[in-house]
């Protein structure tokens, strides 16, 4: 039975690090209440959105009911010259409906406030100011979550496996990335972090040591846009944190490769980030990605995602042993 693979990040880029035993966690979250509300899950956010309206209607309904109770509006033996604070409100339900009408600005008709009750007027002003701010906050957080670039990042696809094969005579680690939308991502940069156990010269053991890996497009330094599925390469030279990696020792190595794509959305100019991770079991040595782009009869390129995660063995050209053999092959080719 294989040991469970421990990841810092899941394949879909979510954080797998659990934060525990933090003193005053609730206090810290309340200090940054905006981020807390924006990061809420949808079921909690919808509940908060609905309860903000319902609770403020009820709370101020109780306030208006208590004001009427203090003013004697509900007494059976009222004098003929008695003026109620809120007209036609005789129960808590009526006060709740008046609060609802006030906050939703659908009044005033049957129920309305009296000019002779300053306390009720003050409560009305406080309700409009307080609930206006609360609604702006909750509605803004609701819209901010809808417009977060995080949702755009979910339409960026990484290959399930990384491959290692030769490019330009050197071994390269390659990852395939694709944009699943027609809208472009520009100024894309792919970077990697190698996470592995490490022992310092002083003998200190660290569970996770981070080292940076540079990925380029087809071994170039250009900053591309994701118009089609692209393959990013990391050169396994002496300066690479993966120097010394071979097909033999790859299965025994202990590391996690966290790959991050940063891009700018062409439509909004907002930046988004998408992540994935690879462990040694997901890195295939001596393989390359199968072609994913094909010509169509209409003169367009088609990206067939049935081949996106497909790999094949690298085709290594035959090695010519000496110059004389090379010349013989060239001469034979000319004669043909």
The domain spans of the chain are 25-147, 151-315
Q: Are strands 162-167 and 283-285 parallel, antiparallel or unpaired?
A: parallel
Report the range of poorest mean pLDDT among 112-116, 119-123, 215-219.
215-219
* Torsion of Cα atoms, 76 then 77 then 83 then 88, to 10°: 20
User: How would CATH label the architecture of 151-315?
Assistant: Sandwich (2.60)
pTM of the entire predicted model: 0.68
- Least Cα distance to 155 among 186, 184, 180, 185 occurs for 180
Q: Which helix (H) or strand (E) holds 166?
A: strand 162-167
- What is the CATH topology of the domain spanning 25-147? Helix Hairpins (1.10.287)
- Residue 136, SS3? helix
pLDDT digits (tens, 9 = 90+) for 197-245: 887 777 778 888 889 999 988 655 566 678 888 899 999 988 999 988 9
**Mean pLDDT value across the chain:** 82
């Amino acid at each position: 039975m294989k040991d469970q693979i421990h990841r810092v990040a899941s394949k879909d880029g979510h954080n797998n690090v659990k934060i525990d035993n933090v003193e005053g966690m609730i206090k810290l979250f309340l200090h940054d209440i905006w981020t807390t509300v924006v990061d809420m899950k949808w079921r909690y956010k919808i509940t908060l959105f609905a309860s903000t309206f319902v609770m403020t209607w009820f709370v101020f309904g109780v306030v208006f009911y208590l004001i009427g109770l203090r003013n004697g509006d509900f007494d059976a033996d009222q004098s003929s010259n008695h003026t109620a604070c809120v007209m036609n409100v005789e129960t808590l339900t009526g006060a709740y409906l008046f609060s609802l009408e006030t906050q939703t600005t659908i009044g005033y008709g049957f129920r309305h406030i009296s000019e002779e009750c300053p306390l009720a007027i003050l409560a009305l002003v406080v309700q409009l100011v307080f609930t206006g701010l609360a609604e702006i906050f909750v509605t803004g957080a609701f819209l901010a979550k809808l417009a977060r670039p995080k949702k755009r990042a979910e339409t960026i696809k990484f290959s399930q496996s990384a491959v290692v094969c030769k490019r330009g005579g050197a071994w390269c680690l390659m990852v395939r990335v694709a944009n699943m939308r027609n809208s472009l991502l520009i100024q894309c940069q792919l970077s990697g972090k190698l996470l592995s156990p490490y022992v310092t010269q002083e003998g200190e053991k660290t569970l996770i040591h981070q080292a940076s890996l540079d990925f380029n497009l087809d071994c170039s330094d250009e900053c591309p846009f994701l118009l089609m599925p692209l393959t990013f390469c990391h050169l396994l030279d002496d300066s690479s944190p993966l120097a010394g990696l071979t097909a033999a020792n790859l299965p025994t190595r202990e590391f996690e490769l966290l790959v991050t794509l940063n891009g700018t959305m062409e439509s909004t100019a907002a930046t988004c980030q998408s992540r994935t991770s690879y462990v040694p079991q997901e890195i295939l040595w001596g393989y390359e990605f199968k072609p994913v782009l094909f010509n169509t009869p209409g003169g367009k390129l088609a990206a067939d995602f049935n081949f996106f995660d497909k790999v094949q063995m690298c085709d290594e050209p035959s090695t010519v042993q000496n110059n004389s053999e090379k010349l013989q092959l060239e001469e034979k080719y000319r004669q043909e």
